Amino acid sequence: MTQAKGSHYDARGVPVSSCEPQSLDDYETALLQFHSYFGDPTETLAATLDADPEFVLGHVFFASALMMMTEKQYLPVIRQHIEQAEALAGKANARERLLTLAARQWMEGRWDQASLTWDQVLVEQPLDAMALQLGHLTDFYRGDCFNLRDRLCRVMTSWDKGVTGYSYILGMQAFGFEECNQYDKAELVSRTALDMEARDPWAIHALAHVFEMQGRFDEGKDMYHEREDDWAPDNGFAFHNWWHLALYHIEHEDFDGALGLYDSRILPGGDSDVSLQMVDASALLWRLYLLGVDVGSRWDQIADLWANRTSSENGYYAFNDLHAVIAFVGAGRFEAARDVLAAVEDAAAHNPGVTRMMAQDVGIAACRAMIDFGQQRYREAIDSLLPIRTIAHRFGGSHAQRDILTQTLTESALRGGELKLANNLVSERKLHKTLSPLCQRFAARLSV
């Protein structure tokens, strides 16, 4: 990879093509916002591009940051900035041209190719923190746990405490270790990151996953409360960390506590236009629904939010589609749920790239299962969930998020009288989460 045109370098020494001096400062501000979720990098970059419309890296970063929202509604703006970056290719350096290519590949649904292109950038520029985080998030959205870990491992010899942003890179690595079930390493690296930067919500998040997967729910609750002033105020990722805290409340059968967090922190006011936030809200209500908890009008609220966007978003990303189906089933709107399923079926036939595979391999069966469960067709739900349970990572999310499928399968077996299957599933869960009150609740129902 050739060096930059011009003499600009970012704070890590990565070459940047010709731009105004203030643009490079703004890039660093936006990158810190992207890492920390304190502030909006697209807002910062929009102002930068108004002042410096030929800032190639600004256009690429703006488009790429928006892509990570996983919402189809942003595609026109994403396309506009990618095309502007492409038009400026003659001013760009080799790194920026590859970053532009990766953005186009992602926009067109070729997420696997985008992942490889970011790797190509990182071979030459292992300190490219933007490419590293874009690849990391895409690994998460693709459910690629090994690359979620190994992408970071491939570049870590180039990073140390003297490199700007090192703590955030450690936070990403910690999450990769956790998703590969290397909990001791994940905990160690998370705590190292937090010792360096207490206000790193991704490192907090990685540690929360460790506690979740090991059934250390009391420690998780204590951590969140003790560090709340670091990760919660004015943070764009806080709703998801609050979601993890609510899961701990559910494990302790403190359903009022979980709903209190839902109302005040996860979906305050019952309103949001952010799919990632709506996913968490739907998933939390479904877990309570499986336990027979009355959530009042909350199902209708979240279903209304999904209904406001289903015409444009259905079929774009199967993981989001599943949570739209969940919301509609919870609200008793089965026709709307079947409309989403139809869109997922269409995506499995016509979507480009990896998003087609996500719908085909996992999305269709997962959505069908939720509809069947809501209509008390438990045998059908079981038949849909069993084949996809071990491949569900293919449509993204974390182990903790995808646990909703196993919980639904277990509840289907219990309600459908498939007690031998339920016993197998509960036995498996007890091995992983010995102290889980929720697991004990499942086991108690088997012994009745």
Q: In this structure, what CATH number is given to the domain that contains residue 92?
A: 1.25.40
Beta bridge partners of 8: 16
Q: At 384, which helix (H) or strand (E)?
A: helix 378-388
Residue 91: which domain range?
8-139
Residues making up the chain, counted from first to last: 448
Plot region of 214 (φ>0 → left; ψ -120 to 50 → alpha; else → beta): alpha
Closest to 279 (Cα-Cα) out of 404, 133, 407: 404
**Coil, helix or strand at residue 69:** coil
Plot region of 289 (φ>0 → left; ψ -120 to 50 → alpha; else → beta): alpha
pLDDT at 4: 39
Q: Which long-range contacts (CB under 8 A, 24 or more apart) does 25-30 make?
A: 26/58, 27/57, 27/58, 27/61, 28/164, 30/61, 30/65
pLDDT at 5: 44
User: Is 320 inside a domain boundary?
Assistant: yes
At 9, give phi and psi (nearest 5°).
-140, 145
User: Is 267 inside a domain boundary?
Assistant: no
Q: Of the candidates 117, 139, 161, which is a domain's last residue?
A: 139
Q: Of the candidates 139, 166, 199, which is a domain's last residue?
A: 139
Number of structural domains (the chain) is 2
Q: What are the distances in angstroms from CA 86 to CA 55, 62, 110, 317, 362?
A: 12, 14, 18, 26, 35
Can you tell me the distance from the alpha carbon of 369 to that of 382, in angstroms, rounded to the nearest whole number? 7
User: Is 406 inside a domain boundary?
Assistant: yes
pLDDT at 7: 64
User: Is 131 inside a domain boundary?
Assistant: yes
pLDDT at 366: 98
User: Is 159 inside a domain boundary?
Assistant: no
Cβ–Cβ under 8 Å, residues 214 and 433? yes
Per-residue DSSP letters for 227-285?
THHHHSTT-TTHHHHHHHHHHHHHHTT-HHHHHHHIIIIISGGG----HHHHHHHHHHH
User: Is 101 inside a domain boundary?
Assistant: yes
User: Is 148 inside a domain boundary?
Assistant: no
Q: Of the candidates 139, 162, 189, which is a domain's last residue?
A: 139
pLDDT at 1: 41
Structure tokens at 198: 């207490």
Cβ–Cβ under 8 Å, residues 354 and 147? no
Number of CB atoms found within 10 A of residue 124's CB: 14
Tens digit of pLDDT at every position of the chain (448 positions): 433 344 699 999 999 998 899 999 999 999 999 999 999 999 999 999 999 999 999 999 999 999 999 999 999 999 999 999 999 999 999 999 999 999 999 999 999 999 999 999 999 999 999 999 999 999 999 999 999 999 999 999 999 999 999 999 999 999 999 999 999 999 999 999 999 999 999 999 999 999 999 999 999 999 999 999 999 999 999 999 999 999 999 999 999 999 999 999 999 999 999 999 999 999 999 999 999 999 999 999 999 999 998 778 999 999 999 999 999 999 999 999 999 999 999 999 999 999 999 999 999 999 999 999 999 999 999 999 999 999 999 999 999 999 999 999 999 999 999 999 999 999 999 888 877 888 888 888 888 6
User: Is 53 inside a domain boundary?
Assistant: yes
DSSP 10: -
* Tens digits of residue pLDDT in 197-226: 999 999 999 999 999 999 999 999 999 999
pLDDT at 439: 86
pLDDT at 437: 84
